[in-house]
Amino acid sequence: MGQAPEVIAIGEPLVALLADGSAPLADVESFSRHVAGAEANVAVGLARLGRRALFVGRVGDDGFGRTITRGLRGEGVDVSGVVVDAARRTGLLVRERRALGPSEVLYYRQGSAGSALGPPDVDAVAAAFDGARWLHLTGITPALSDGAHGAVLRAIELARANDVRISFDVNLRRRLWSDEAAAACLHPIAVGADVVFGDADELAVVARVVASADGLEAARTLQAGGSGSVVVKRGAAGATLIGQGMPVAAAAVTVARVVDPVGAGDAFCAGYLAALLEGLDAAAALRWGNACAAAALSAEGDLVGLPTRLELERLIAETGTDTIR
């Protein structure tokens, strides 16, 4: 382990095979390989912004696992929490691309190395919690297996014992479990977190309220239940934070063309946490989150568009310049 991490992110890293053209999956003949996984995306987003992130997860002893480990390391993420599981394969997802309507994602992650994450993997990096500032979790990991759920609970215990704040992105994955199962498992995690991120629909499921377009009732319900603050990610409508005081809102950064909609939420979390680590206030954190999300939307794959610190500053400054010479 290098210098002490500021953020510890725990989850399943994946290789994503993204269709090269717009077509139903049955007609796609070539794919591009990307590193993905919501929590790994956040770790890379933080590293691009100059923050120290440690990633904890499992990969198989295979080429995809090596791609992930090399990719994360190359981005400056501390991979000392990555376990190579020789008995299982690296998790995989395949995503088609459609010009119209939603694109389908297929997961090949049941029984994967990543899903075999367990409390001992977290205990192996226990020392990193001493001095870390944030633990970043998502609602994907507890859906993977009992062991992975246990790893999340162990990480929460260690965070609490070490005064590390907890950031929780709901990331509801309906291909992994039902809304009822997700709510039962994720509600206690959300109300114990210092900041919760989600879109209006995800927050409503976890808060067990009827979904509304602005997500505010769900956010208020979670906040009243114990969440420190709740950020409603509203896509093109920006983001709103519900905390102790008045709601804080920030407009989205306009995106000329959405190249790839996936990964923007993770980019938002990375920007938001990076701003807080710099000592900025909630309004600035929302702006950073929105700008990072817009950058992610503008590039193919989860990681490609994640901005560096300089790129983020340029985006926020909105200079109107289209070429820097």
Q: Which residues are catalytic?
A: 266
Q: Is 289 in the site for ligand KDG (CB under 6 A)?
A: no
Cα(281)–Cα(46) distance, rounded to whole angstroms? 17
14, 37 contact by CB (below 8 A)? yes
Q: Is 140 in the site for ligand KDG (CB under 6 A)?
A: yes
- Which residue lies nearer to ligand KDG by CB, 165 or 233? 233
Nearest Cα residue to 206 out of 223, 224, 218, 194: 218
Q: Is 302 in the site for ligand KDG (CB under 6 A)?
A: yes
Q: Which helix (H) or strand (E) holds 78?
A: strand 78-85
Residue whose tokens read 């226990």: 126
Q: Convert residues 250-269 into a mask of x (bound to ligand KDG by CB under 6 A) and - (unbound).
A: ------------xx-xx---
Cα(101)–Cα(173) distance, rounded to whole angstroms? 18
Give least dist CB 176 to ligand KDG, A.
Answer: 7
- Which residue lies nearer to ligand KDG by CB, 37 or 215? 37
Nearest Cα residue to 172 out of 150, 204, 148: 204
Quickly list DSSP for 185-254. Answer: HHHHHHHT-SEEEE-HHHHHHHHTS---SS-HHHHHHHHHHT-SEEEEE-GGG-EEEESSSS-EEEPPPP
Q: Which helix (H) or strand (E) holds 79?
A: strand 78-85
Give least dist CB 283 to ligand KDG, A.
Answer: 25
Q: Which of residues 3-32 bind ligand KDG (CB under 6 A)?
A: 14
Q: Is 303 in the site for ligand KDG (CB under 6 A)?
A: no
DSSP β-ladder status, 78-85 and 53-60: parallel
Give least dist CB 140 to ligand KDG, A.
Answer: 4
Query: How many chain residues bind ligand KDG (CB under 6 A)?
Result: 13
Nearest Cα residue to 68 out of 95, 35, 38: 35
300, 259 contact by CB (below 8 A)? yes
- Which residue lies nearer to ligand KDG by CB, 129 or 177? 177
- Which residue lies nearer to ligand KDG by CB, 129 or 268? 268
Q: Is 93 in the site for ligand KDG (CB under 6 A)?
A: yes
- Which residue lies nearer to ligand KDG by CB, 167 or 221? 167
Q: Is 90 in the site for ligand KDG (CB under 6 A)?
A: no
Give least dist CB 256 to ligand KDG, A.
Answer: 22
Give least dist CB 110 to ligand KDG, A.
Answer: 12
- Which residue lies nearer to ligand KDG by CB, 11 or 215? 11
- % helix, strand, coil for the chain, step of 5: 40, 20, 40
Q: Which of residues 28-87 bind ligand KDG (CB under 6 A)?
A: 36-38, 41
19, 300 contact by CB (below 8 A)? no
Give least dist CB 258 to ligand KDG, A.
Answer: 15
Residues near ligand KDG (CB under 6 A): 14, 36-38, 41, 93, 140, 173, 262-263, 265-266, 302
